[in-house]
C-alpha cells in the first residue's frame, strides 16, 4: 500500500500499464519532458523513453486523430487533453471516428484508446479552464465516460480504461487532484467501468454525484446529519454506461433522489438520472427528483465563479426541501 493523491494515482496507473503492455503509449502537449502541466506524467518519459512517452505538437485534433490511427493498428494510446476545455478541436475526431470506427467497420477495427482530460471548476482559472462538459461526451454513442473521485478508484479505473477495447473519455477532477490522499494498492488492479459505488448507505434520500462534487456532498451531509437527515451517497464513477441498477435500488429504498453535478443543468447527466428515476422507480418516489447542478451559463471567471459552483449550502438547501416535501 502507498498513500497517494489522485494525480499520483494517474501516474501510477500509467506506469503500471506502460510496464505491463508494450503497446501502451502516452503523449500530448507538454506530457513528455515536463510531465504535464499538472505533472500527471512526471517521470514516465525517463523510465519508458521518448518513443513511448512524448510531447506532441500543439494540436488536439491531430493528437486524437493520430491516436485513432495508432489504435486501429495495434497500439493502445493514452492521450492527454491539457484541459477538457481544449478538447473541442478534437471533437470531430472523437465523434466522427474514435466513437464509430468499430461500428463503421462492422467490428473489424477498434479504437482502444483513452483520452484523459482534467475537468471542472473551483481553481481560479482562466476562461475555458473550468468546464464540466461530461454530458456532451456521454451523449455520443460509442464512447465510455469515466470520472473518478478518489485516488484508489482513479488508479483502478484508469487501468480498466487502458485495457478497454473501446475509446474511453477519462475526466479527472483537477480541483481535488491533490486534495485527497488515500492508501492505494501497489501494482496492477482494476475497478470495473460501469459500476457505481454506494459511498455512504442511508435511508432518507439518495444523493447521486461524481468527481469533485463527492466531497461537496459529503460536506453537505454533515449539515444534513445535524438536522437528523440520513442520506445515501452514490458515486457514479462512470457516466456512460450508467449503472442504473445501483441508482434504482437506492431510490426504491429511500424514495427520494437529488442529483449533484458541476455541469450545466439542461440536457445534462442529471436529466438522464431523473428520467431513470421516473421510468424505473416512479411508484417509489415520495418527492420530485431534483437536480442541483450548474446554471445554463458559461462558467464565470474566478471572481464570479461562486455564482456557478455547487456549494455544500446549496446541496443542503435542496436536499432538505426534497426530504421535507
Partner 1 sequence: MIEKYDPVNDEMFSILDNDGNVVNSQEMPELSDDHLLKAYKLMLFSRVADEMAVLYQRQGRMFTYPLNKGQEAIAAATGLSMRDDDWLVPAFRELGCYIAKGVTMSELYMYFMGYENGSLFKNAKNILPISVPIASQLLHATGIGYTLKLKKDDKVVVTFVGDGGTSEGDFHEALNFASVWKVPVVFIVQNNQYAISVPFKTQSASKSIAIKSVAYGIKGIQVDGNDYFAMKKVVEEAIDYSRSGNGPILIEAVTYRQGAHTTSDDPTKYRTKDEEDVWSCKDPLKRMKNYLITKGLWNDEEEEKIHKQFMKEIDSEFIKAENIKSYPAEDAFDYLYAEMPADLEEQKRYHLNFLKWKESRGVK
Ligand X SMILES: Cc1ncc(C[n+]2csc(CCOP(=O)(O)OP(=O)(O)O)c2C)c(N)n1
Binding site for partner 1 (CB under 8 A): 29-30, 33-34, 37, 55, 57-62, 85-86, 88-89, 124-129, 265-266, 295-298, 300-305, 307-308, 313-314, 317
**Catalytic one of 97, 128, 129, 307:** 129
Give the orientation angle of helix 213-226 with respect to helix 312-323, to 10 degrees: 50
Closer of 88 and 317 to ligand X (Cβ)? 88
Measure the CA angle with vertex 306, ends 270 and 247; round to 5°.
Answer: 20
Residue 12 CB, nearest distance to partner 1 (Å)?
A: 21
Q: What contacts 277, CB < 8 A, 6 or more positions away?
A: 247, 248, 251, 257, 285, 289
> From partner 1, ligand X, none, which one binds at residue 166 (CB under 5 to 8 Å depending on kind)?
none
Active site annotation includes 128: no
Closer of 29 and 232 to partner 1 (Cβ)? 29
**Residue 230: other Cβ atoms inside 10 A:** 15
Q: Which three cell numbers stand for residue 51?
A: 518513443
Residue 29 binding ligand X, by CB under 6 A: yes
Residue 36 CB, nearest distance to ligand X (Å)?
A: 11
Please tell me whether residue 271 adopts helix, strand or coil conformation.
helix
Distance CA(134)–CA(129), nearest Å, equals 14
Residue 80 binding ligand X, by CB under 6 A: no
Residue 65 φ then ψ, to 5°: -60, -45
Residue 91 binding ligand X, by CB under 6 A: no
Residue 60 CB, nearest distance to ligand X (Å)?
A: 6
> From partner 1, ligand X, none, which one binds at residue 300 (CB under 5 to 8 Å depending on kind)?
partner 1
Name the residue with cell 459529503: 218
Q: Tell me the Ramachandran region of residue 256: left when phi exceeds 0, alpha when psi lies from -120 to 50, beta otherwise.
A: beta
For residue 53, what are the β-bridge partners? Answer: 26
> From partner 1, ligand X, none, which one binds at residue 194 (CB under 5 to 8 Å depending on kind)?
none
Cα 138 to its chain centre, rounded Å, is 10
Measure the CA angle with vertex 275, ends 273 and 277; round to 5°.
Answer: 70
DSSP designation for 87: -
Residue 128 CB, nearest distance to ligand X (Å)?
A: 7
Closer of 190 and 311 to partner 1 (Cβ)? 311
Terminal-residue alpha carbon distance, the chain: 45
Residue 281 CB, nearest distance to partner 1 (Å)?
A: 26
Q: Which of 20, 86, 274, 312 binds ligand X (CB under 6 A)?
A: 86
Number of residues interacting with ligand X: please give it, by CB under 6 A.
6
Residue of closest CB approach to ligand X: 86
Residue 159 CB, nearest distance to ligand X (Å)?
A: 26
Among the residue ranges 82-90, 239-247, 258-266, 305-313, the one whose residues contact ligand X (CB under 6 A): 82-90
Q: Which of 82, 250, 261, 265 binds ligand X (CB under 6 A)?
A: 82
Closer of 163 and 318 to partner 1 (Cβ)? 318
Q: Which three cell numbers stand for residue 271?
A: 436529466
Which helix (H) or strand (E) segment is 26 a member of? strand 24-28
Question: Which residue ranges make up the site for ligand X (CB under 6 A)?
Answer: 29, 58, 60, 82, 86, 89
The residues carrying an active-site annotation are 129
Amino acid at each position: 500500500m502507498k498513500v497517494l493523491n489522485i494525480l499520483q494515482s494517474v501516474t501510477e496507473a500509467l506506469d503500471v500499464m506502460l510496464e505491463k503492455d508494450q503497446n501502451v503509449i502516452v503523449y500530448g502537449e507538454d506530457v513528455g519532458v515536463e510531465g504535464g502541466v499538472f505533472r500527471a506524467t512526471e517521470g514516465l518519459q525517463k523510465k519508458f523513453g521518448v518513443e513511448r512517452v512524448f510531447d506532441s505538437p500543439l494540436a488536439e485534433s491531430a493528437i486524437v486523430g493520430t491516436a485513432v490511427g495508432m489504435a486501429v493498428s495495434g497500439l493502445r494510446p493514452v492521450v492527454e487533453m491539457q484541459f477538457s476545455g481544449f478538447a473541442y478541436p478534437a471533437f470531430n475526431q472523437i465523434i466522427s471516428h474514435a466513437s464509430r470506427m468499430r461500428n463503421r467497420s462492422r467490428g473489424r477495427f477498434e479504437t482502444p484508446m483513452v483520452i484523459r482530460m482534467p475537468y471542472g471548476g473551483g481553481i481560479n482559472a482562466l476562461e475555458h479552464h473550468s468546464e464540466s462538459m461530461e454530458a456532451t461526451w456521454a451523449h455520443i454513442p460509442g464512447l465510455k465516460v469515466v470520472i473518478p473521485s478518489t485516488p484508489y478508484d482513479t488508479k483502478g479505473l484508469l487501468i480498466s480504461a487502458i485495457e478497454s477495447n473501446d475509446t474511453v473519455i477519462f475526466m479527472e477532477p483537477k480541483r481535488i487532484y491533490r486534495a485527497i490522499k488515500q492508501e492505494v494498492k501497489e501494482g496492477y488492479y482494476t475497478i470495473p467501468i460501469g459500476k457505481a459505488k454506494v459511498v455512504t448507505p442511508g435511508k432518507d434520500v439518495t444523493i447521486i454525484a461524481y468527481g469533485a462534487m463527492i466531497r461537496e456532498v459529503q460536506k453537505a451531509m454533515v449539515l444534513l446529519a445535524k438536522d437528523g437527515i440520513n442520506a445515501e451517497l452514490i458515486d457514479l464513477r462512470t457516466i456512460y454506461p450508467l449503472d442504473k441498477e445501483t441508482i434504482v435500488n437506492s431510490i426504491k429504498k429511500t424514495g427520494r433522489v437529488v442529483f449533484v453535478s458541476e455541469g450545466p443543468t439542461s440536457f445534462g447527466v442529471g436529466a438522464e438520472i431523473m428520467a431513470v428515476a421516473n421510468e424505473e422507480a416512479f411508484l417509489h418516489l415520495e418527492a420530485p427528483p431534483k437536480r442541483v447542478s450548474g446554471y445554463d451559463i458559461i462558467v464565470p471567471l474566478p471572481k464570479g465563479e461562486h455564482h456557478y459552483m455547487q456549494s455544500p449550502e446549496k446541496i443542503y438547501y435542496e436536499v432538505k426541501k426534497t426530504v421535507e416535501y
